[in-house]
Amino acid sequence: MKVAFIGLGIMGKPMAKNLLKAGYELQVYDRNTAVLEEMKAAGAKVCNSSVETVEGVDAVITMLPNSPHVKSVMLEDDKLAAHMPKTATFIDCSSINPVASREIAAELEKYGIDMLDAPVSGGEPKAIDGTLSFMVGGKPEVFEKFKDLLGTMGASVVLCGDVGAGNVTKLCNQTIVAVNIAALAEALMMGQMCGVEPEKIFEAIKGGLAGSTVMNAKAPMMMDQNFKPGFRIDLHIKDLTNVVDAAKAVDAPIPLTQSVLEMMKVLKHDGDEKCDHSALLKYYQKLANEVLHH
């Protein structure tokens, strides 16, 4: 199976490499020439344009920052929908507004092209080791055709409903992750200020009901003051803004999401938007005038 992959950033590059390791024929394009050299060394065919990337492929995968970028590549500036084979399927792994996913799918349908929205969860570490969670929206028969392909990049691949359902599910995921990180930061800071070492708190509760994948990943980063991005604050702001838009459309109450979004906006104002979302701790450190430690 021949695959085009467009968008080779923090997540896209390791995902594309896992496709190569699984034996897929891969054609890639990205505006970052350094990453193209790396992908060429890994065995991918490097193309001179996004249009060239989609020639003769069975699937076009995008991993881009937000809705306007996906629309630009597929329908507006690059107009890949007009150049890709009508037998090919568009698989968007970007995390975007589900309304935009449905709009793009409707336009692609005019070209006779099927679409899956397939956003992921797991961040850079799981992108590297191929254990991402895929939340997919689309026709069941199209999903079945490409389930194994997605499975080379993820440990979990679940069809959630029609096109758009993948991104609705991803927004739910991003809400839960954001609120978890904020609660973790709040609890560790409060515990330290009450005289208990954060490491002891983490050790004592991680195996109980409060334990989570979020806690295991982010508590050590917080205690080390390590905010190297696996998933950046500015990207989480983008996702939570999409949550707000989606919730507003159906009048869903989201007070916790709104609160964490405001915390993240404060961090962005402070210049921390490129930090990992575990940097929500910085919001509490600023309020407490105290630094979390081991």
Rounded CA separation 225/284 (Å) = 13
Three-state SS for 162? coil
C-alpha to C-alpha distances, 13 to 17, 34, 113, nearest whole angstrom = 6, 12, 25
Structure tokens at 180: 């978890």
Helix-helix angle 280-288:165-193, to 10 degrees? 30
User: Catalytic residue among 170, 218, 238, 282, which?
Assistant: 170
Tell how far CA 285 is from the center of its chain.
27
Task: Answer for the pair 53, 25: CB distance below 8 angstroms, yes or no.
Answer: no
CA atoms in the 13 A half-sphere facing the CB of 235: 23
45 is catalytic: no
Report the DSSP beta bridge partners of residue 137.
Answer: 117, 161
- Rg (Cα) of the chain, in Å, rounded? 20
Residue type, 222: M
Kindly state the DSSP code that residue 65 receives in the 8-state scheme.
Answer: S
Reference 118, options 133, 101, 135; nearest CA is 135
Rounded CA separation 262/256 (Å) = 10
Task: Answer for the pair 44, 54: CB distance below 8 angstroms, yes or no.
Answer: no
Q: How many helices (H) and strands (E) does the chain have?
A: 13, 9
What distance separates the 2 farthest-apart alpha carbons in the chain? Answer: 64
Three-state SS for 120? strand
CA atoms in the 13 A half-sphere facing the CB of 187: 17
The set of catalytic residues is 170
